[in-house]
Every structure is written in C-alpha cells, then in structure tokens.
Amino acid sequence: AQVDKAGHKHFMSKEIAEQPTVIGEAVRHYLAQDGTSIELPDTDLDFTKIERLTMVACGTAFYACLTAKYWFEQLAGIPVEVDIASEFRYREPPITKGTVALFVSQSGETADTLAALRYCEGKADKILSVVNVAESSIARESDVAFPILAGTEIGVASTKAFTCQLTVLLMLALKAANDRGALDADAIADALSKLRGLPSVLNTAMEAEQGLADASRKLAEARDILFLGRGLMYPLALEGALKLKEISYIHAEAYASGELKHGPIALIDKHVPVVVMAPKDGLFDKSISNMQEVMARGGKVLLITDKEGAVEASEGAWETVVLPQVDPILAPILYALPAQLLAYHTAIAKGTDVDQPRNLAKSVTVE
C-alpha cells in the first residue's frame, strides 16, 4: 500500500511520531497470552546452549546490536561479540562451537550483512535475524527471523526501525535470561510490565520536542558536535551522532564518556557543543563527573537526563532536556527519541533534505 506522510512535513517526523504505536505492537507480538512471559515463534532455538552470541549489522542496526550486547551480557550472562558486517565478512573470524549468529537489518537486503550471514552458514549453531522486511533475503536465509513490526520505513535515516529493533532485542535478551535461569519469572514479569508501559512513557517524552527544537537551532550553528554516554548510553551517543551527520551534515562524533580523557577532551572549547546522555542510573555520577570536565574547559553541554538527574546535575549546563524516569534497562529505547529529534530539528534549521539526505541510500544492496 502507498504510504503517505499522514499530515507530517517529512516521513522522518511521521516515523518518529509512530514509535509509541509500533513499539507497543512489537511488545504485544512477543508477549505470551498471560502477559507476564515471552513467547517466541516455534523454533528449536535453545538459549541454554548458547556459548557465544555474534551479532553483525551495518549503520543504525549496528548500534542496536551494540546496545543489545549490554542486555545479553548483563541480563542473560551470554558472552557477546558485535561487528560491522563489512569488517566481519573479510576478517574470516573463527566461529567456535556453541556460537549463535544474529544479524540485524531493517531492509534485510544489505549486501554486507547478507554476505556475513552466508559466511556463518554451516559454521554457526544457528543463524538468527531481527528484520523489518519479513520476506527479505536475510529473513529467508536465517534459521529463525524475528520481525520487528515497525511497518514501512521511508525516511533514509532510520528511526522507528531502530527502536523496534531495540524492543525485540531486549525481549530476546529477557527470554534468554529467563531460560538460562539468570532472571526469575517475577523479574521477567516486572520488566515486561514496564515494556508494556513504554508507549505511554514515549508519548510523554514527546513533550520534550519543543526544548529539543530550540536547542537544535543553536546546534545548527556548530561545525562539530560531540556526543557522550556511558554503558547503555554509549551506543545511543553513537546513534545520536550518526543521525546528526546523516541529515544535517554537521560533523558529529560520539565517545564513551570515560574515554574522553584519552584524546577527545583536546577538542573541547566554546565552539564545540557536547551532548551528554545521562539518565539517573548506576553510572550517572561517573557520567556527570565527565560532563563537569567538559564544562571546566569551557565546553557547552546539552544535558539529556531525567527529573532526578536534572535536579542533581543541570547547574552550569548550556541546556537541559528532561525526559521521563524509566527503568535503566529501558532507557536506550527512550533516549533514542531525543537523539532523533535533535538530528531532525537541526536538519530543519539548516534546511537540508531530511528524508533524502545527499549521498545516502535507504538500503545498500551493493558493496
């Protein structure tokens, strides 16, 4: 069916706004009838047998994999390796016994990701994929394909596919944690009830859009922008920088906050805005101390945090954007929203072609 902009100026803003709905659908799809456990498609996939998970993807899907690494390791205790498909396929990595390979792709047709999948055929115990296009090559060539149900994504810069990838990957990690005995049924039920509540949290978070749009007009004047985050916020910082580069053409880079002192701090001056993503989680104090190192060197900080975080740390920040409080495990899905909105409004302020950025293709099916 023909997809239109449904009253939005761009497909990208329509797709950003759709996220509460499509994430809700993805959650429901993998929820068992009882609503307190996860049900996967009928497969002989046995999470207790996995000794190593190798995740491979490109672009935004790669950042979804990086985020999921924290979930599979911390929740389920599975060692995870994440790689960019174009590197993985030519490195000829050894695939050891007990390895399950997982490919993440919106289109399911990215040439490098498909080639990486084919490299794993006959070597990995199982080939899994997390895809948006259910009838794609990657889906067809996997032992099990998990749909993300984001619906057609038209904007070249991926938005709703990213958050739906995160949602499905988190549910897979929770299922793995449950089957491996790393989390009990109550903990799973609790996480699932929070996941079910996520669409309404995302709707509330949309109230931050005006503040993000105001901040974006200032970002639009910058030549370079840094994004910082720790733990689960590190891949989100990478995604925020990628989104910004893709559609506003401003040079943006992301670093793990703790890595700042090993080089990028040399870049800090009053002309380089620094976006800090820091929900009030276990790593908050460390993130804030890194942020203060930036401010002490004249850096202008845009702090994205929650209410508690803002009370504690917004003093001296250039701008603070406040999001709803969520369980730290779910924070990546929520913090994707400001990352997308900052890029979107910065691009609008610069007057670039948001849906069709120069030099980029929605799906790269050649090498």
The single residue among 106, 129, 142, 167 that binds ligand G6P, judged by CB under 6 A, is: 106
123, 286, 350, 362: the active-site residue:
362
**Nearer residue to ligand G6P within complex by CB, 21 or 363:** 363
Residue from 156, 192, 202, 260 touching ligand G6P (CB under 6 A): that is 156
Of the candidates 278, 326, 325, 285, the one whose C-alpha atom is nearest the C-alpha of residue 303 is: 278
Distance (Å, rounded) from C-alpha 166 to C-alpha 116? Answer: 21
Comparison of 157 and 291: residue with beta carbon closer to ligand G6P:
157
DSSP annotation of 126? E
Question: What is the rounded CA–CA span in Å between residue 84 and residue 82?
Answer: 7
What would the x/- binding string for ligand G6P be over residues 39 to 78, using CB under 6 A? -------------------xxxx-----------------
According to the binding rule CB under 6 A, does residue 159 interact with ligand G6P? no
Contact (CB, 8 A) for 132 and 139: no
Please give the size of the binding site for ligand G6P, defined by CB under 6 A: 17
Q: Is 362 a catalytic residue?
A: yes
Residue number, 154 or 267, with CB nearest to ligand G6P: 154
d(CA 121, CA 139): 14
Q: Which of 104, 101, 29 is nearest to 64 (CA)?
A: 104
Distance of alpha carbon 164 from its chain centroid, rounded? 9
Q: How far is the CB of 68 from ligand G6P (least distance, A)?
A: 14
Which residue do the tokens 């950003």 mark? 16
> Which residue has tokens 């944690």?
177
Contact window for ligand G6P (CB under 6 A) among 75-83, 179-187, 314-322, 357-365: 357-365
The interface region with ligand G6P, picked from 155-163, 269-277, 279-287, 327-335 by CB under 6 A, is 155-163
| H helices, E strands: number in the chain | 13, 10
Residues catalogued as catalytic: 362
List residues near ligand G6P by CB under 6 A: 58-61, 105-107, 110, 113, 156-158, 360-364
